[in-house]
Chain A
């Protein structure tokens, strides 16, 4: 059969396809791809740059659009964070935009609360309703008890909130769920770990390849760490109770006891100092007590790591050409969390790798936000910022305050903060800015659907090592799909109805105008300059701006004192550590649950267990055997706070005294793809921090758990064939 014949054939195919479409295959009106080289005429694509909004890393993206439809997201190769690459969730971004379960217009409650009866309204009315409510609260003088719950207060939202404060003439409560970086490098300082150039990487439970600060940035770095021109293959040790995907890529995985990272770090430091291997010995001076009490020999039984191993690690680390230790991520948000991070930082100090290639890079600049170029205006005091959990508990306990209104944006308190459920339900007025119906929004009185990431305007500013400022542009790649409005614009209009006077009406017109105003003034500090429009143009075409910031020349100088007293307690407690510890971790793609409504991510096999479309609990085979649990059995996991039923996965790479469950599922009101799938892990672990570890009981229960895998279970073993 000759090639020519295929050419004819495929031509036929095209027509036969459209014929088929007549009998109910609409999709097939598309052109078949397999048409021959000679006859291929590609259509015209328009690539629009923007910024991925699916986690806080802020990777640059370019979106391929044709006929006013977006059909592919790719990494922006100009962007310093992701250099063209994109993670799995970033790739699935279009399913947020085109999600069938989006809220398509503003609505007000027409039935009882949580009854799910809605009446569609116009934006004018919606904004009026919100404004009236707020002014009523203001007139009652309760404005400063309003709670605005959001994921992240950066960017234009920050300004919108300021104007709201100004308009209400009160400081009010803002909760921010977004994970913030361990502060042991000084508050607000975001170090960058130069993994790419490190030769020896000692990681204490940091899932830098999956979640953590910036998965793509650190995956790229990891690639170079493994293989790059004229550089030996780096060695990577991961210390964590449960092998994460990151741990699976380590050369050595060390299953230390839950929460013992800090101890191990100190013991390592102790060996380095006692053997005089420290490159920068005055680092010890920052300690508030001697290290002697943290000999590897003493802590072995607590950490479950024998002293020889720690001594070996210490020597390898200290003698390595470019050693680097990285922190525990949010796992550190426990009693000893900050101290753990400090202890890990101590290791870096001992080998003196601050701002050295392959070391810890501390930005040498003041806090930087491109939106500061907007005219400033004064507003009531600072934002009071706690996780919704902590806040609710506080407010609940001090019965004096009763919250008149809860405004939810990009968070789902009702699901993530079960302890606050009653408190939330008691709030007289709830407005949701969510793009999707979710557990909290379902309870709302007023729904003001937000644009999704590919429809909105925003600026994401960050400081890169040295004194580089990076500004990523978030701009619409297509016209809004539904009758939605960007939350910031809603808030600004509401403020106006409250009589708020912006310093520069033109600039503060909308998120778009704010972004453009700042975009025109990126190079200059605020003043309008010549060629501003070209400046804006090139910015909107590149999607990212990188510029120099005034160096403050104090980089890495902050010798934050390290208090290791919290460890004394830890060192002692060998006994009352629970027999089974529950780890809850961020699902690599479903995250905390916000992406459980994306079919492509639901059907993406979990890289370790290959599970799709559900939750599971990871149990060490020994433990499982002792519990009489087999792979796939339905088990009940119970903690002091609640219990869930999930299928068991025999997981060979987890400590026998630990079980682990990923967040991400257990929705009840989050659309067709998410609802009724898996378990809501927040019920087990209602603290405001990921990676919190608590005692759990496992019991086998009758019934069939839905455990769907793409690949076979972990016990199928095989060598790659040569």
Chain B
């Protein structure tokens, strides 16, 4: 392990990156308060739902799923930000990743925690959710392994576990740093968490190997998770659900929304914690390019999906198709296209706009767009069963809307708390990339933006 260059100022870096932990600043408190209130609202709604029954939702026959599953798919999608991005960047050894990785990994863990809530709270009898767990019992009952919902269960848990580990490993050296810098209870906690990290060569080697290994492992896991989520729909025989390309379609969408979420998170952190010269335009620029790519891919998939439905001209498919492109759901549908493609694509394609502000705007639109995309995949199909006599409609109630708002609040809350307890930028990983690595090549972190125009 090469020791740090004397000329670069390691102390200031450490100080900057640890500042949020000591003095979060006003921005942090306001964020926490607002998001906290949203969570409270959702908690009330949930309590009401549990006492009264699912009837307090807007769901009905035939629309048995709506915002519950929308939020489920959406948040699982968001979760793909982190792990996948950071893993890919790590594996491909993209140097500029260094200040980005942890922001990303944290997103994954929290988004997953939220997404995974819905399969439980959307149950008619949530108290029995554990019946999906294959635990030995006197009745000799097992879950039905033929059900995509059972697959979900395993996939999501694996992913959650994996991404927690993947968040934790790179945290260790920083935890050690915190241990050394803190005192009292905190010292003991950080001490315990950093598993007695000493920074010996051996430990570094092990850590690096572990991190690299996890990076490789987590990618297929992440892909499989959203594929399986998509199979919840694709495995049925409902029009515009029963589609072979739903797997990749969903994964692409997931990464798409994930990146957007990441950009937003970074932008906020940058402002709130004054990390302007750590999270620099270059990072937004690069992520912006990724977002552009995903936007194109998303459009390609959407186009392919709808074109084939339309061309196939199957009555039931067409019913759903029409309701989306020209019927009741047309505003949402075209809104989605605008949010996910029409605006972001040009915005991100034009270098002049690929600024922090530009990418932020694009990301906001994409996040909104992708939420509605999930909604549009689920609801229109359900409103139109095969026999037209049973067609229905759906309008959400305050309970569902509060729960939805709550998820966003909950996410922000968790994220804020995390960023107060742990450095949201990996200090060691950042320093590791400081100017003049081994063979004297420049690494992005050290270089002034001016010279980066070519990136």
Q: Which residues of A line the B interface, CB within 8 A?
A: 1, 5, 8-9, 12, 610, 711-712, 716-718, 721
CB-based nearest A residue for B389: A711
CB-based nearest B residue for A11: B139
Interface contact A8-B139, CB-CB below 8 Å: yes
14 residue pairs of the A-B complex, CB under 8 angstroms, read: A5-B139, A12-B139, A711-B389, A711-B390, A712-B388, A712-B389, A712-B390, A712-B391, A716-B389, A716-B391, A717-B388, A718-B387, A718-B389, A721-B386
A9–B140 Cα distance when bound, in Å, is 9
A1 partner residues in chain B, CB cutoff 8 A: 141-142, 144
A9–B144 Cα distance when bound, in Å, is 15
- The 4 A-B residue pairs with the shortest CB-CB distance, nearest first, are A716-B388, A711-B389, A712-B391, A718-B388
A717–B315 Cα distance when bound, in Å, is 12
Distance to closest chain B CB from A711 (angstroms): 4
A75–B140 Cα distance when bound, in Å, is 45
B142 partner residues in chain A, CB cutoff 8 A: 1
CB-based nearest A residue for B392: A712
CB-based nearest A residue for B386: A721
CB-based nearest B residue for A717: B388
A5–B142 Cα distance when bound, in Å, is 10
A8–B139 Cα distance when bound, in Å, is 6
A711 partner residues in chain B, CB cutoff 8 A: 389-390
A207–B388 Cα distance when bound, in Å, is 28
B386 partner residues in chain A, CB cutoff 8 A: 721
Interface contact B141-A5, CB-CB below 8 Å: yes
Interface contact B389-A9, CB-CB below 8 Å: no
Number of residues from B at the complex interface, CB < 8 A: 11
Distance to closest chain B CB from A3 (angstroms): 12
Q: Which residues of B line the A interface, CB within 8 A?
A: 139-142, 144, 386-391
Interface contact A9-B390, CB-CB below 8 Å: no
Interface contact A9-B391, CB-CB below 8 Å: no
A5 partner residues in chain B, CB cutoff 8 A: 139-141
Distance to closest chain B CB from A269 (angstroms): 42
A716–B387 Cα distance when bound, in Å, is 10
Distance to closest chain B CB from A220 (angstroms): 27
Interface contact A8-B140, CB-CB below 8 Å: yes
Distance to closest chain B CB from A35 (angstroms): 15
CB-based nearest A residue for B143: A1
A717–B389 Cα distance when bound, in Å, is 9
A8–B137 Cα distance when bound, in Å, is 12
Interface contact B388-A9, CB-CB below 8 Å: no
Having A9-B139, A12-B139, A721-B386, one finds 13 other A-B pairs with CB under 8 Å, namely: A1-B141, A1-B144, A5-B141, A610-B389, A711-B390, A712-B388, A712-B389, A712-B390, A712-B391, A716-B388, A716-B391, A717-B388, A718-B388
CB-based nearest B residue for A710: B389
CB-based nearest A residue for B388: A716
A718 partner residues in chain B, CB cutoff 8 A: 387-389
Distance to closest chain A CB from B269 (angstroms): 47
Distance to closest chain A CB from B131 (angstroms): 11
Distance to closest chain B CB from A651 (angstroms): 16
B389 partner residues in chain A, CB cutoff 8 A: 610, 711-712, 716, 718
B390 partner residues in chain A, CB cutoff 8 A: 711-712
A8–B390 Cα distance when bound, in Å, is 36
CB-based nearest B residue for A715: B388
A721–B144 Cα distance when bound, in Å, is 31
Distance to closest chain B CB from A253 (angstroms): 21
Distance to closest chain A CB from B24 (angstroms): 45
CB-based nearest B residue for A2: B140
A12–B391 Cα distance when bound, in Å, is 37
CB-based nearest B residue for A16: B128
Distance to closest chain A CB from B397 (angstroms): 18
CB-based nearest B residue for A4: B140
B140 partner residues in chain A, CB cutoff 8 A: 5, 8
A645–B415 Cα distance when bound, in Å, is 57
B388 partner residues in chain A, CB cutoff 8 A: 712, 716-718
CB-based nearest B residue for A712: B391
A717 partner residues in chain B, CB cutoff 8 A: 388
A716 partner residues in chain B, CB cutoff 8 A: 388-389, 391
Distance to closest chain A CB from B354 (angstroms): 49
Interface contact B387-A9, CB-CB below 8 Å: no
B391 partner residues in chain A, CB cutoff 8 A: 712, 716
Distance to closest chain A CB from B150 (angstroms): 12
B139 partner residues in chain A, CB cutoff 8 A: 5, 8-9, 12
Distance to closest chain A CB from B140 (angstroms): 5
B144 partner residues in chain A, CB cutoff 8 A: 1
Distance to closest chain B CB from A708 (angstroms): 13
CB-based nearest B residue for A719: B315
Distance to closest chain A CB from B132 (angstroms): 14
A5–B139 Cα distance when bound, in Å, is 6
A9 partner residues in chain B, CB cutoff 8 A: 139, 141
